């Protein structure tokens, strides 16, 4: 046997194997091919949708990483503004100029966060939500209901439904009753 004969023997008519409908009614063949085409079109559309979701998730992930990296600078500016307001020199022209500059920096941060779709979580006098808040302290008080945010220590950040960082808060608790002293007879 030479090489040409073995090639001819190995050659198979794939059209006959892959489409048994070739021997049947042309309408059924058209229906089968239309069904395959519709399925392929639907799969392509689903793949496009999955790619869009993955692209948006990747974008949000990148924004979240960037915001996490810059958040400490934002926090530092906010603390500097608070410290400047509490300073004895807060009314001087030099401190007023510094405060205006710090406020401009804070506004630029907030404008950038808003442009990226990031919103701040700044709860106060709202119920504590463990999905959005991190309790840093618990303060017993009878002035508010238990489980209410009393003090905001650091705002949280959210991008869509993705929590970038929780808000640090102080939460109210019902005042504890003093423990009864046990007598030796107990």
Which residue's structure tokens are 């409908």? Answer: 21
Asked if 27 and 110 sit in the same domain, the reply is: yes
Asked if 79 and 57 sit in the same domain, the reply is: yes
From 71, 89, 116, the end of a domain falls on: 116
Asked if 135 and 152 sit in the same domain, the reply is: yes
Of 90-94, 99-103, 104-108, the one with minimum mean pLDDT is: 90-94
Tens of pLDDT along 108-166?
A: 999 999 999 999 998 888 999 999 999 999 999 888 888 999 999 999 999 988 999 99
CA angle centred on 138, ends 136 and 144, rounded to 5°: 125
More confident residue, 182 or 48: 48
Asked if 24 and 112 sit in the same domain, the reply is: yes
Asked if 105 and 138 sit in the same domain, the reply is: no
Asked if 28 and 106 sit in the same domain, the reply is: yes
Asked if 172 and 102 sit in the same domain, the reply is: no
**Domain coverage including residue 61:** 19-116
Q: Quick check: is 6 in a domain?
A: no
Q: Which residues, including other chains, have CB under 8 Å from residue 128's CB and lie 6 or more apart?
A: 135, 147, 148, 149, 169, 171
Q: Quick check: is 10 in a domain?
A: no
- In angstroms, the Cα distances linking 74 to 7, 100, 117, 179 are 73, 15, 16, 44
Output the pLDDT for position 181: 47
Asked if 27 and 107 sit in the same domain, the reply is: yes
Side-by-side strand order, sheet with 156-159:
118-121, 156-159, 162-165
* Number of domain units in the chain: 2
Give me the chain's average pLDDT, please. Answer: 84
Q: Which residues, including other chains, have CB under 8 Å from residue 116's CB and lie 6 or more apart?
A: 63, 66, 67, 159
Asked if 149 and 71 sit in the same domain, the reply is: no
> Would you call 145 exposed, middle or buried from its count of C-beta atoms within 10 A (0-12, 13-18, 19+)?
exposed
């Amino acid at each position: 046997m030479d090489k040409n004969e073995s090639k001819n023997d190995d050659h198979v008519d794939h059209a006959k194997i892959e489409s048994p409908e070739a021997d049947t009614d042309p309408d059924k063949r058209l229906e089968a091919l239309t069904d395959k085409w519709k399925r392929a079109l639907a799969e392509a559309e689903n793949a496009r949708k999955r790619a869009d979701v993955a692209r948006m998730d990747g974008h949000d992930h990148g924004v979240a990483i960037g915001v996490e990296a810059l958040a400490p600078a934002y926090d530092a500016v906010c603390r500097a503004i608070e410290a400047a307001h509490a300073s004895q020199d807060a009314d001087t022209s030099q401190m007023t100029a510094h405060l205006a500059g710090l406020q401009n920096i804070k506004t630029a941060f907030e404008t950038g966060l808003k442009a990226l779709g990031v919103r701040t979580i700044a709860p106060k006098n709202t119920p504590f939500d463990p999905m959005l808040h991190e309790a840093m302290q618990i303060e017993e008080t009878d002035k508010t209901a238990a489980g209410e945010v009393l003090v905001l220590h650091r705002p949280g950040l959210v991008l869509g439904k993705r929590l970038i960082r929780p808000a640090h808060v102080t939460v109210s608790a019902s005042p504890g009753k003093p423990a009864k002293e046990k007598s030796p007879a107990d």
